[in-house]
């Protein structure tokens, strides 16, 4: 028996992102990463880059001195797997030059 998880649509993730902006900025950064990944997987390169930039902007508001500072709180968002750690280096590694 296999279990498949439905991956959320970009629109669904965008709704989650908007809610998280008002309540939990770290969660919003994780969702922005998921949106960048989902957009990239759909071949929407410019949108992917915009979401990666949004994630980077949100991350700038958090400390990043220790692994605990940059450890993700969730394993996935909307069926999109998250890395164990979320910081500028991971974003640049996954999405290239996003400035």
* pLDDT tens per residue across span 17-65: 999 999 999 999 999 999 999 999 999 999 999 999 999 999 999 999 9
Tell me if 1 is assigned to some domain.
no
Q: How far is CA 79 from the centre of its chain?
A: 12
Domain housing 49: 10-95
Tell me if 68 is assigned to some domain.
yes
Cα distance between residue 93 and residue 83, in whole Å: 11
Given a cut of 70, whether residue 7 has pLDDT beyond it is yes
Tell me if 2 is assigned to some domain.
no
Tell me if 36 is assigned to some domain.
yes
Total of domains in the chain: 1
Tell me if 19 is assigned to some domain.
yes
Tell me if 40 is assigned to some domain.
yes
Cα distance between residue 72 and residue 28, in whole Å: 11
Tell me if 5 is assigned to some domain.
no
Tell me if 65 is assigned to some domain.
yes
How many beta carbons lie within 10 A of that of residue 55, not counting itself?
A: 27
* pLDDT tens per residue across span 54-91: 999 999 999 999 999 999 999 999 999 999 999 999 99
* Cβ proximity of 33 and 82 under 8 Å: yes
């Amino acid at each position: 028996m296999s279990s498949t998880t439905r991956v959320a649509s970009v629109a669904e993730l965008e709704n989650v992102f908007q809610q998280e902006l008002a309540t939990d900025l770290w969660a919003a950064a994780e969702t922005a990463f998921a949106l960048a990944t989902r957009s990239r997987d759909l071949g929407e390169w410019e949108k992917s880059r915009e979401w990666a930039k949004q994630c980077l902007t949100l991350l700038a508001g958090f400390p990043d001195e220790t692994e605990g500072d940059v450890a993700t709180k969730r394993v996935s968002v909307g069926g999109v797997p998250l890395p164990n750690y979320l910081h500028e280096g991971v974003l640049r590694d996954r999405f290239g030059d996003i400035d």
